[in-house]
Every structure is written in C-alpha cells, then in structure tokens.
Amino acid sequence: MSAQNIVTTLNERILTIRFNRPEKKNAITSAMYAQMADALLEAEASPEVRVVLFAGTADTFCSGNDMQDFLAASGSIHDAPVARFMRTLAVFTKPVVAAVNGPAVGIGTTLLLHCDLVYAGEGARLQLPFVSLGVCPEFCSSYLLPRIMGHVKAAELILLGEAIGAQKACELGLVNAVVPAAEVEALALQKAQRLAQQAPASLRVSKMLMKRFNDTALNASLTVELDYFGEMLRGPEIQEAVAAFMQKRKPDFSGFN
Ligand code: COA
C-alpha cells in the first residue's frame, strides 16, 4: 500500500479527497483514515479551502473498511484512526460534496450521511452489510437513517444489508441526483465550484443551523455505535464473515446464537 491510496488536491479552493486503491476497490485502511482525518483538520483551519469533495476511482467509490484491517485492529476503537476520521467529518463546518460511482459499501455509504450534497452515477450501488459481517451500524447511521427514511426502510438497508441502486438511493433521500457515470464527477465539481463562490461565513452558519439540533444525538450515537462495534470486532461472527469473504463463499451463521 502506498501513501497515494488517498490523493488530495486543492484547486479553486476545493479540496478533493480521492480514494485511490482500485485494486482493492478503494477499501480503507487505518493509514488511509489517518490521512483523511489530517486532510480534513487542515482543510477546516485553512482559508484556502472552502469546500471538500470526496471522490473515488473510475468504477468504484469505496468498498468500506479493509477486511483484514478489521481484524488486525488492536486497542480501543475509540482511539483508532477510523474514529478520528468520523469525529472530524461529523463536525466539519465547511460544505462537503461527494461524487459516487460504482460500489459504496459500509463507511463508503455512511460517510455520505455526513456530506451536504451527494451525486451518484447510474451504476452506483450503496450497501450497509454490517449485520451480514457480524458487526453493527457505525458513523451515526443507526440514528440518521431512520430519521431520513423512516424505520422500515432503514431496517431494510441495515438488517438485510442488500445493495440498492442509485435511483433508489435518490428516492430514499441519500442522494441529490443521478446522472450517467461519466458525468457524475463533473456535476459534483460544478456544485462544489458554486459553493466555493458562495459567502463562506454564511455557508458555515447555514450548515451549522441545519445540523445543530442533532449535535448531541449524533455525538452520542457515534460513541455508542463504536462501543458495540469495537466489542463485536472481537466476537466470533465477524471471524466467520471475514473468513468467508476471503474464501469467496457465503458466511455460515447457523451455529451461532
Ligand atoms: N477489504 C479488503 N479487500 C477488499 C474489500 C474490502 N472491503 N473489498 C474488495 N476487496 C478486494 C477483494 O478481496 C479483491 O481482492 P483480490 O483481487 O486480491 O481477490 C479485490 O478487492 C476486488 O474485489 P472483488 O470482490 O473481486 O470485486 P467486485 O467488483 O466483484 O465486487 C465489491 C466489489 C465492493 C461489491 C465487493 O468487493 C465487496 O462486497 N467487498 C466487501 C465490501 C464490504 O463488505 N466492506 C466492509 C463494509 S463494513
């Protein structure tokens, strides 16, 4: 893995954070979370940055947490780079835009809940396979999804863990617009450019006003989800799920209680 698995570029006051590990479908390792958290902290402080844009590679947004990293993690998850990344993005004060093409799995989808504008290519597939992996929802998704779409639709995404297409994601309120895959990044960039021209303090105050009623609840859900997630990472169900993924077979949970 190289330092270039996350590529950041600053252009016209837009900081692009690009997942760039296509051989592993842009799965995120601890090192990549750390780089993204650092980039966000710098962006927060820098007057040169007015907007952040998340993007992936040609046919993949992000396949979520790296499976091997899942099990290799030691120490408290609350101190891990993934938690630092989540806490930084959840309270980021400047507008965040995402351009989603291909799979957006796990945190590849839950990070979108912390973006302000999300554009998807026609082939985008969003999926929250936490339960299928023997873990539980993270990054405030257990709190935000039922409020965005209602309990039964959120339960369908979280408990069944099946992928949904871009159009369904748009109908559910997770995505602003769906365009042909080849156009999604240009559209997201165009919206980011428009945001970068807006009055910056007004943008920050307006974003804060839209989110402030949820601040306490978001912080609480992020923490309690990580409590459970951290515990489940040491449990037997994820061992079976990751072994099954590596062996390219379906997990067998029939012997678990
Ligand atoms: N962690 C580690 N490696 C991953 C990965 C992940 N999250 N997602 C994909 N990869 C790897 C595969 O193991 C494979 O590696 P290999 O070529 O060494 O065998 C490579 O990326 C390509 O993946 P593959 O599954 O063959 O691509 P695909 O186009 O058929 O499917 C996905 C793409 C994203 C739908 C599929 O890889 C997937 O479901 N990944 C797991 C997603 C997941 O559960 N993430 C955790 C969420 S909490």
Name the residue ranges covered by the structural domains of the chain: 6-179
How many CA atoms within 13 Å lie on the side-chain side of 101?
A: 19
% of the chain exceeding 90 in pLDDT: 96
| pLDDT over 60 at 1, yes or no | no
Determine the average pLDDT of the residues in 101-112.
Answer: 98
**Tokens read off for 120:** 């998807």
Ligand 1 center–CA 20 separation, angstroms: 14
Contact 215, 222 (CB under 8 A): no
Determine the average pLDDT of the residues in 165-184.
Answer: 98
More confident position, 72 or 253: 253
**Fold (topology level) of 6-179:** 2-enoyl-CoA Hydratase; Chain A, domain 1 (3.90.226)
pLDDT in tens, 22-42: 999 999 999 999 999 999 999
pLDDT in tens, 77-97: 999 999 999 999 999 999 999
Q: What is the pLDDT of residue 72?
A: 86
Mean pLDDT across the chain, nearest whole number?
Answer: 96
| pLDDT over 70 at 197, yes or no | yes
Pocket of ligand 1 (CB under 6 A): 24-25, 27, 63-67, 103, 105-106, 129-130, 133
More confident position, 71 or 112: 112
- H helices of 157-235, in order, are 166-171, 181-197, 200-211, 215-233
Chain Cα centroid distance, residue 114: 8
| pLDDT over 80 at 2, yes or no | no
- CA–CA separation, 136 vs 56, rounded Å? 25
Reported as a pLDDT band with limits 50, 70 and 90, residue 73 is confident
Q: Which residues pair with 7 in a beta bridge?
A: 18
Ligand 1 center–CA 63 separation, angstroms: 6
- CA–CA separation, 183 vs 75, rounded Å? 42
Ligand 1 center–CA 144 separation, angstroms: 26
Please list, residue by residue across 73-110, b when 16 or more beta carbons sit within 10 angstroms of its beta carbon and e when fewer do: beeebeebbbbbbbbbbbebebbbbbbbbbbbbbbbbb
pTM > 0.95: yes
Report the run of H or E that residue 125 belongs to, with start and end.
Answer: strand 125-127
Determine the average pLDDT of the residues in 153-161.
Answer: 98
Q: What is the pLDDT of residue 190?
A: 98
**Tokens read off for 47:** 């007057």
Ligand 1 center–CA 193 separation, angstroms: 32
Contact 29, 1 (CB under 8 A): yes
Determine the average pLDDT of the residues in 105-114.
Answer: 98
Substitution site in 25, 62, 128, 245 for ligand 1 pocket (most atoms within 8 Å of beta carbon): 25
Q: What is the pLDDT of residue 158?
A: 98
Q: What is the pLDDT of residue 37?
A: 98
pLDDT in tens, 206-255: 999 999 999 999 999 999 999 999 999 999 999 999 999 999 999 999 99
